[in-house]
Structure 1
């Protein structure tokens, strides 16, 4: 057991993410001629996010539906990019840090493998409230013509409508965390809520990718840690309900993708892929879908 740098709160985390951004930019500079051709081939889509792999292929493209899981349909000329490695933030609950003096590793807990992640499942049974979202992620191999990756595990976690994270700032709760295994189409689906916006960060969801469920439930074996950026227009619509999302509108007004310490240094192709497509409404709930690119 050890106390990780993640345990010192948002202010410390923002400084850590600043260091991460600086390091990634330095790595990009040192890549030099070895990646020059790759960057050039991507044009303006890699203005600040490090090396970028873009693959053209008939990629499965989920079609969102508010009432059913999106079904992939081949789209000629579609592209996928490798999602960038991002910080897990201060509240991953994946065994890499601790909370209240105890190691937080929800991945080893019975019940973590679930599709509907709105309820707590350790001690409490509290259900996180907010605008419903059914999120489908399609995991693809950018080194194999965007082929779907079956049998991988994806761990998704996020804050609640008040910007709190279970196990940490909502210490007695375990909601809004769950693991699913990709099917033959490389897809997983989670039923969750739209995350709130807390001060200093663009609204987002976190995820980690593991090569198997065994690795996921053992903890600390992620091959990709990254984040999803919520679409600006949907954020504005959801946060207009200040009764449900009491502080999000004000926090959202003070942040932008360009100022966010995680998303700011990514290229436009990366940001486009990291931003899920939403359909639906606040009243009926949303269906969202995104492609996650992994370089195997």
Structure 2
């Protein structure tokens, strides 16, 4: 079975996700604009209260699980400042984010998240960067939870599994408002990027390089991550 046909059947089986054609086709599109011109290191940020617990067990491109929402292809490029900002191959890239209602898998039964999702593992994954430093995940547009602006967490590790950077990705608020008006989400009552405690001093560097698409066909996110390997 062809890879694209396989992914099509996987995502259709999960149900509720929009934009299948856009998400599956976006990988081959031009990734122009992903290389950083100023070669500045990406900002270091907290892992947050819901980090990956066993990322080596979730080596996969499709991280949706059973969640519903607007399709999102996460396209990342890892560059190494210590090598003249050239692409870093074989980097381990971990990502994690909440679902459309602000819930994280692998956690629950506490004051931060009352729902018990300790046995679920959705919206978490690990992938290895290719020769061009690129890595990609099939996901849904993240929701938000009280006190935070919408965001995605990620960590970059070298081949020896040494952590090189933990950071977060921010989203344009007009895109968030459009997505959050759809059925699977809970409206636009999130903290603004400017008032977010993580992003207020580094928003320009946390913001996606670009995001294209729409709520019918899904979105594609591009972001360059600069590390010191």
> Structure 1 length as normaliser, TM-score?
0.62
**1:153-168 correspondence to structure 2 within 5 Å:** 153-168=92-107
Deviations 1:180-205 (A, max 9, x none): 00001100000000000211101000
Assess, with a 3 A threshold, how the Cα gap between structure 1 residues 209 and 286 changes in structure 2: closer, same or farther. Answer: same
Shift of 1:141: 1.5
Shift of 1:166: 0.1
Q: 1:114 touches 1:178 (CA, 8 Å); kept in 2?
A: yes
Deviations 1:57-101 (A, max 9, x none): xxxxxxxx75221444589993332111111000002xxxxxxxx
Shift of 1:114: 0.3
Q: 2:64 touches 2:140 (CA, 8 Å); kept in 1?
A: yes
For 1:131, what is the secondary structure of its paired residue? strand
Q: 1:153 touches 1:180 (CA, 8 Å); kept in 2?
A: yes
Deviations 1:157-183 (A, max 9, x none): 000001000001322310000000000
Select 1:182's aligned residue among 114, 120, 129. Answer: 129
Q: 2:34 touches 2:222 (CA, 8 Å); kept in 1?
A: no
Q: 1:156 touches 1:178 (CA, 8 Å); kept in 2?
A: yes
For 1:287, what is the secondary structure of its paired residue? strand
Shift of 1:288: 1.1
The equivalent of 1:32 in structure 2 is none
The equivalent of 1:225 in structure 2 is 166
For 1:79, what is the secondary structure of its paired residue? coil
For 1:143, what is the secondary structure of its paired residue? helix
| Aligned equivalents of 2:194, 2:133: Cα separation in 1 | 31
The equivalent of 2:178 in structure 1 is 237
The equivalent of 2:50 in structure 1 is 91
Are 1:147 and 2:86 matched, yes or no? yes
Are 1:292 and 2:218 matched, yes or no? no
| Aligned equivalents of 2:36, 2:167: Cα separation in 1 | 25
Assess, with a 3 A threshold, how the Cα gap between structure 1 residues 118 and 76 changes in structure 2: closer, same or farther. Answer: closer
The equivalent of 2:71 in structure 1 is 132
Unaligned runs of 5+ in 2: 1-21, 109-116
The equivalent of 1:261 in structure 2 is 197
Q: 1:228 touches 1:276 (CA, 8 Å); kept in 2?
A: no
Deviations 1:196-251 (A, max 9, x none): 02111010000010002x52xxxxx322111000221210110112x3102x412x
Q: 1:72 touches 1:185 (CA, 8 Å); kept in 2?
A: no
The equivalent of 2:14 in structure 1 is none
| Aligned equivalents of 2:176, 2:26: Cα separation in 1 | 22
CA RMSD in angstroms comes to: 2.1
Assess, with a 3 A threshold, how the Cα gap between structure 1 residues 92 and 145 changes in structure 2: closer, same or farther. Answer: same
Are 1:275 and 2:214 matched, yes or no? no
Q: Answer 1 or 2: higher relative contact order, Cα 8 Å, separation at least 6.
A: 2
More helix by share: 1
Task: Report how many aligned residue pairs link the two structures.
Answer: 198
Larger Cα-atom Rg: 1
Shift of 1:256: 1.7
